[in-house]
A and B are shown apart, each in its own frame.
Chain A
Amino acid sequence: MSFENNDKAAGYWRENLRLVLSLLAIWAAVSFGCGILLVDVLNEITFMGFKLGFWFAQQGAMYVFVALIFVYVAKANTLDKKYNVQED
């Protein structure tokens, strides 16, 4: 065990799960939400020449996906350092 004690291990995992789940919530919101379930409502709005729902499905969701991974990488690396479990 690389953690100082079991509480630390549980704390690390809890924070990690919270990070992952909140990012996945955004992931689902932009794709399944804006791109599919809410597409008809959002299509009423025009955005840069696009119907907004259509834009999310064919452009926006993908931009958000890329951003999510980079946010995750930065936050996960910080979390590793906080608990001193990063690689040497």
Chain B
Amino acid sequence: MDVQTLTYLIVGATFALYIGIAIWSRAGSTKEFYIAGGGVHPVMNGMATAADWMSAASFISLAGIVSFTGYDGSVYLMGWTGGYVLLALCMAPYLRKFGKFTVPDFIGDRYYSQTARTVAVICAIFICFTYIAGQMRGVGVVFSRFLEVDVETGVYIGMAVVFFYAVLGGMKGITYTQVAQYCVLIFAFMVPAIFISVMMTGHIFPQIGFGAEMIDAAGNGTGVYLLDKLDGLSAELGFSQYTEGSKSMIDVFFITGALMFGTAGLPHVIVRFFTVPKVKDARISAGWALVFIAIMYTTIPALSAFSRVNMIETINGPESTGVPYETAPTWIKNWEKTGLITWDDKNNDGKIFYTNGEKNEMNIDRDIMVLATPEIANLPAWVIALVAAGGLAAALSTSAGLLLVISTSVSHDLLKKNLMPDISDKKELMYARIAAGFGVVMAGYFGINPPGFVAAVVAIAFGLAAASLFPAIIMGIFSRTMNKEGAISGMVIGLLFTASYIAYFKFINPAANSSENWLLGISPEGIGMVGMMVNFGVAFAVSKVTAKIPDEIVAMVESIRFPKGSGEAHDH
């Protein structure tokens, strides 16, 4: 069978599986819709969290980014895993003990204020929309290459599938679908990585092969270590050293921080810890989530290094002078059709050549690295089909999780808790479904009119989360004196500071977006960590000069600090 048929077959089978699960586990109450009835096993929850977490950006773009930037890519690897330590140690158990449905629920109750709740809802919706914008674009990329349909048609198909199981199944449907999606995506990611690791270094574990000696076609050691080879190639072609990167240390520091603290402030991740039965389960399920994430995240840099060497060698040939276009590997021609690779024969020698600077003839979109890797390494057709299914699983699972937070924010936080407190459970559920439907349409719009690089857009969402929700939640748990005035002003100023810094450099004056114009050399991607400090600072200053918090709130803070009596998640 050819790649095309296999892809249709495997993608079709996974979609049928997701929809089957959605029908089996459809939600009947708001509790099931919002938090899956609060009865998800911690390992399952960890797996679902991991699938929710690993978006199209992780699956499709991240290895490409690390591959093209080397050490600089570490900010994403450490940033997107380190946040789970904060979640497990500082947030998950306490929020589970608190025992309501959403992040704005916590902020609204802890800061005894409708305004605080509304600010939190706005932050949550803002963050989720920024984040989801990147997802549907991933769906589009996969569809356009592997199913050879228009990006638009691809996005419509993706929208229809997500709509079906998010709207029907709610959190319950999503959680069980995500367990299946995790299995699909991790299998799809590991198979090519292991294949390549064995081919290039003879090690089954890519994490070890990554540092090992390379082998030749006959399986004998060449005496050259992969990373030394890569540093050598980079130097030869005028790139910065693969293992050293080119970002300044302060920028690497702040971007990593913004991603870590942002992770711990993302509403669609936090809400996961409301879905388990006990405080104990909330702790351990953060651990399982990180295990499942780390399996992929420790493989990503290995795959990046392998595919970088492979890519340079297949394009530039053994003499490093380029290979004739006619004999160029088919993957180059396949991807040229999508416009994600372009070749410009500057010196008219009929050869393709990749290097840094003027002489470069190949323009390669980073987003294709993972998807093209099986083709670059000549892996069997079913592996290529599998990777397509994995990319779709990653994009769909994250979109569904985000949609759920958007719909919960609208139906629960905005309508039920603010505008129409008297609506029945059934009505609320209906509004949640309408809001999810609306969210799908918005996501589809962004998928068809994509706002740039998948991972870069997603990175902004983290900055906003780090600067707004993270400090409010941390202070809500660890401070007995933080009052509503402090928390609200902290959130508002943190969010405005971060959003305006990003907006200035990304949208208003992109020409100025270079390190000499940045505040202390911190890029827009890393400014969220500064925003977080601003938030903390403002909140403490304001709380010192405003009223003390009521006694019953102090009692509530004390009661969430130990597990006993957690009970079921409840509404009132």
Contacts and interface: CB of A to CB of B under 8 A. Distances in A.
A34 B90 CA distance: 23
B95 to A, nearest CB: 15
A62 B287 contact: no
Contacts of B85: 23-24, 27, 65, 68-69
A73 B284 contact: yes
Contacts of B386: none
A87 B283 contact: no
Contacts of B210: 50, 59
A83 B284 CA distance: 20
A63 B280 contact: no
Interface in A1-45: 1-3, 9, 12-13, 16, 20, 23-24, 27, 31-32, 35-37, 39, 43
Interface string B290-307: 110010011001000000
B208 A48 contact: yes
A80 to B, nearest CB: 6
A62 B78 contact: yes
Given A13-B561, A50-B227, A80-B563, A61 B89 contact: no
A65 B284 contact: no
Given A49-B212, A49-B227, A86-B280, A54 B71 contact: yes
A39 B400 CA distance: 38
B225 to A, nearest CB: 5
Interface stretch (B250-258, B310-318, B345-353): B250-258
B566 A66 contact: no
Interface in B63-90: 66, 71, 73-74, 77-78, 81-82, 84-86, 88-90
Given A43-B244, A62-B78, A77-B280, A87 B294 contact: no
A74 B226 CA distance: 38
B236 interface: no
Contacts of A83: 562
Interface in A50-88: 50-51, 54-55, 57-59, 61-63, 65-66, 68-70, 72-73, 76-77, 80, 83-88
Contact of B287 (A36, A39, A73, A87): A73
Contacts of B256: 31-32, 35-36
Given A23-B89, A24-B89, A49-B212, A2 B243 contact: no
B566 A87 contact: yes
Nearest to B73: A58
Contacts of A87: 278-280, 563-566
Interface in B258-295: 260, 278-280, 283-284, 286-287, 290-291, 294
A20 B90 contact: yes
Given A32-B256, A62-B294, A72-B283, A85 B564 contact: yes
B213 interface: yes
B82 A61 contact: yes
Interface string B215-226: 000000000011
Contact of B88 (A3, A58, A69): A69
Contact of B563 (A50, A58, A61, A85): A85
Given A31-B82, A54-B243, A87-B563, A63 B93 contact: no
Contacts of A47: 211
B519 interface: no
A49 B213 CA distance: 8
Contacts of B225: 49
Contact of A66 (B77, B207, B208, B294): B294
Nearest to B301: A58
B211 A70 contact: no
A4 to B, nearest CB: 12
Nearest to B304: A58
Nearest to A35: B78
Interface in B459-494: none
B283 A62 contact: no
B160 interface: no
B420 interface: no
Contacts of B284: 73
Nearest to B207: A59
A1 B558 CA distance: 9
A2 B298 CA distance: 42
A87 B565 CA distance: 6
A23 B86 CA distance: 10
Question: Which of A48, A54, A68 gathers most chain B CB within 10 Å?
Answer: A54
A23 to B, nearest CB: 6
Contacts of A69: 84-85, 88-89, 283, 286-287, 290
A84 B279 CA distance: 14
B557 to A, nearest CB: 11
A57 B77 contact: yes
B81 A76 contact: no
A61 B78 contact: yes
A42 B210 CA distance: 18
30 contacts: A1-B558, A2-B564, A2-B565, A20-B90, A23-B89, A31-B260, A48-B208, A48-B212, A57-B74, A57-B78, A58-B73, A58-B77, A59-B210, A61-B77, A61-B82, A65-B81, A66-B290, A66-B291, A68-B85, A69-B84, A69-B89, A70-B287, A72-B89, A73-B284, A77-B280, A77-B283, A80-B562, A87-B564, A87-B565, A88-B564
Which 10 pairs, one residue from A and one from B, show the smallest C-beta to C-beta distance? A49-B211, A57-B74, A69-B287, A58-B301, A85-B562, A50-B211, A85-B564, A54-B243, A69-B88, A2-B564
Given A70-B287, A86-B563, 7 more contacts: A37-B249, A50-B210, A57-B74, A58-B73, A59-B207, A62-B77, A87-B279
